[in-house]
Structure 1
């Protein structure tokens, strides 16, 4: 077994403050608007709505089912953003190895080994990334933008109320999501590049042929 890591005192104080503040916040909401168990179905629905696996399967399926170039471009770029997010969150969780709140129930949808760690909140990074990235790339209908932001906010807050994460897990996750969105806006593939990438995985011969035109 490895040695137990020594946490610097200032960081230890910040983490202790985070635990206490998170607990107070959950109890406050439970007392004022609860009991929170009444909303478990809604919060679990939000959890699934931003889970990485349905998003990966959904975008991957749409890429190959719908051949519209604009829509395919969107799906390819979202898929790349999701993979980027998964890698970033996995690395941060592996480095920090912060445990989830003690009141967390082991009933999350489709978990993996890395999901036992709490920092940062992967749901928050993913939700915020999408909420920032899509308006950056598209002139969205204002009501859709408002709905998207409301969804991302609800997902992030529900992570704390479900006792999946501490407040700092979600706050830092949101910052990471914003940074990921700006990185992806710089890496955003054109319709032609997205189609080339799809062709590469569908039939490599089409990639070579595209250079002979």
Structure 2
């Protein structure tokens, strides 16, 4: 049985045929799948793309550090994660695309909107964080290649677990890069942070 097309986001041939094309990659969607033995390893990759992780880690650094550059970076990562979650909520509600039948409901944290598949939130975060880190630290060469590998690994892992269709991970990655560009464009500097804090402290 086919997956319903999205109510808003188009009906291209690739989108319609995504369930059939994607099923080829669902090799460890369950312990009984062809590559079920590597499912625990792929689920570790899943954890590193979870939105909760990208919120808790910056908060932990903010608690223990006094380095201004790290405070600036962590605050912006938190803001970026919140921005990403808002974009995901909007897009998932607009598309309302159910997850693949092969998906097992065993993700770290699941809220109502996570019942929808398009786009992949793990891929948006992988794309967004990779873009932010490369731009913020002015990385070049091999580091960019390494970031690209991470984005691809995250996308493939989502398919292997049966969490998403091909179009979900492709569009999620593209959306993530766009989000990263927006975050860099409106980056909050240390000086801006201090000005905002002083404004709140005076009120």
Instruction: Report the TM-score, using the length of structure 2 for normalisation.
Output: 0.85
Q: Per residue, is there more helix in 1 or in 2?
A: 1
Q: CA RMSD in A?
A: 2.8
CA distance in 2 between counterparts of 1:135 and 1:15 reads 31
The verdict on how the C-alpha distance between 1:196 and 1:157 changes in structure 2, with shifts beyond 3 A counting, is farther
Say whether residues 1:108 and 2:107 are aligned partners.
yes
Q: After alignment, is 136-145 or 95-104 more displaced? A: 136-145
Hey, what does 1:170 align to over in structure 2? 169
Matches within 5 A, 1:114-129: 114-129=113-128
1:106 offset after TM fit, Å?
A: 1.1
Matches within 5 A, 1:29-178: 35-140=34-139, 144-178=143-177
Hey, what does 1:17 align to over in structure 2? 17
Equivalent residues of 2:134, 2:144 under 8 A apart = yes
CA deviation vs aligned residue, 1:27-81 (integer Å, no higher than 9, x gap): 6x99xxx932122111100111110012111112222321110011110111111
1:136 offset after TM fit, Å?
A: 1.3
CA distance in 2 between counterparts of 1:69 and 1:6 reads 45
Equivalent residues of 1:73, 1:195 under 8 A apart = no
The verdict on how the C-alpha distance between 1:7 and 1:188 changes in structure 2, with shifts beyond 3 A counting, is closer
CA deviation vs aligned residue, 1:114-170 (integer Å, no higher than 9, x gap): 111000000000001111121112123755544433222211110011000000000
Query: How many residue pairs are counted as aligned between the two chains?
Result: 196
CA distance in 1 between counterparts of 2:152 and 2:14 reads 24
Q: Which residues of structure 2 form unaligned runs of 5+? A: none
1:25 offset after TM fit, Å?
A: 3.8
SS at structure 2 position matched to 1:104: coil
SS at structure 2 position matched to 1:11: coil
1:7 offset after TM fit, Å?
A: 5.6
SS at structure 1 position matched to 2:109: coil
1:196 offset after TM fit, Å?
A: 4.2
Q: Which residues of structure 1 form unaligned runs of 5+? A: none
CA distance in 1 between counterparts of 2:112 and 2:150 reads 27
1:6 offset after TM fit, Å?
A: 8.7
CA distance in 1 between counterparts of 2:89 and 2:6 reads 22
Higher RCO (C-alpha 8 Å, min separation 6):
2
Equivalent residues of 1:46, 1:155 under 8 A apart = yes
